[in-house]
């Protein structure tokens, strides 16, 4: 759920490579990054940076990769060809790793059970502190929906697994003039297509500046009925999570997002709820 690429770790860039340094207790981020780069180098060469070397130690890890030339897609009004290229890159990410290999890849962190646990905590601790008005009303409606949602069951078991990059920030998708490449795999792992698409469509970076044409983007994916139903629920879940995250940001001393962003998110969530 990071709001920007490379936001939590030290990165050194040279002409031909990037050195990404992780703190000693990184929660497995370096290992996930290295695993993803190696898998994609074999199964989808050219889509992500090439892995050069890694030092995965308890004292602090380092992952070295090739440097990609491209413009982050966040913050720009994307043309139709760019939306199509973005969808192609995402489809390739999802399907590149063979199923027999994907079964050996650990599930990515931050999926529905983790998010629901966070929301249950925030409902008890952060919700009472939120200012009264459209934001709290949207929180209440979202939490009421969540309490009755099928997401409390393992709905992902009804859909095929895919490889998920784990971060929907469009800043991690680079346009090189003809195609899209991808960076940042700290939270990658086995996932499902509906959840990963929801990560992209509901990320604040997909709408706060120049909104991604979500209907056009999603039309590039041939979802099964089960995936389509799950996508709706995952989008609502992620929208509710972002409402709390943006409220936290709005109440901080140095907000990262424009004034009014949390109120806009309240409207976005409300429009998606049944």
Separation between Cα atoms, residue 150 and residue 25, nearest integer Å: 34
pLDDT in tens, 54-101: 999 867 899 999 999 999 999 999 999 999 999 999 999 999 999 999
Whether the Cβ atoms of residue 159 and residue 228 lie closer than 8 Å to each other: no
CATH number assigned to the domain covering 69-272:
3.90.1200.10
| Number of residues that make up the chain | 274
Q: pTM for the complete prediction?
A: 0.92
pLDDT in tens, 16-65: 899 999 987 888 999 999 999 999 999 999 999 999 999 998 678 999 99
b/e burial code for range 231-251 (CB count within 10 A of at least 16 → b): bebbbbbbbbbbbbbbbebbe
What are the boundaries of each domain within the chain?
69-272
C-alpha of 114 from chain center = 14
C-alpha of 270 from chain center = 21
């Amino acid at each position: 759920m990071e709001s920007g690429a490379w936001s939590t770790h030290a990165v050194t860039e040279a002409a031909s490579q990037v050195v990404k340094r992780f703190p000693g207790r990184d929660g497995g981020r370096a290992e996930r990054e290295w695993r993803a780069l190696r898998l994609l180098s074999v199964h989808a060469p050219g889509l992500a940076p090439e892995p050069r070397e890694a030092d995965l130690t308890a004292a602090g890890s380092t992952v070295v990769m090739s440097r990609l030339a491209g413009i982050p897609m966040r913050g720009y009004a994307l043309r139709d060809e760019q939306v199509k290229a973005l969808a192609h890159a995402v489809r390739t990410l999802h399907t590149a790793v063979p199923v027999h290999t994907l079964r050996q890849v650990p599930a990515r962190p931050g999926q529905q059970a983790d998010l629901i646990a966070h929301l249950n905590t925030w409902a008890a601790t952060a919700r009472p502190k939120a200012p009264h008005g459209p934001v709290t009303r949207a929180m209440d409606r979202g939490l009421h929906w969540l309490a009755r949602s099928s997401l409390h069951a393992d709905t992902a078991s009804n859909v095929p697994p895919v490889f998920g990059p784990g971060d929907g920030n469009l800043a991690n998708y680079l346009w090189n003039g003809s195609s899209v490449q991808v960076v940042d795999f700290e939270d990658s792992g086995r996932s499902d297509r509906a959840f990963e698409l929801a990560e992209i469509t509901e990320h604040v970076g997909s709408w706060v500046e120049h909104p991604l044409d979500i209907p056009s983007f999603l039309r590039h994916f041939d979802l099964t009925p089960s995936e389509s139903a799950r996508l709706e629920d995952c989008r609502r879940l992620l929208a509710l999570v972002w409402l709390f995250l943006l409220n936290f940001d709005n109440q901080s001393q140095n907000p990262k997002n424009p004034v009014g962003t949390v109120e806009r998110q309240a409207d976005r969530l409300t429009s998606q709820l049944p």
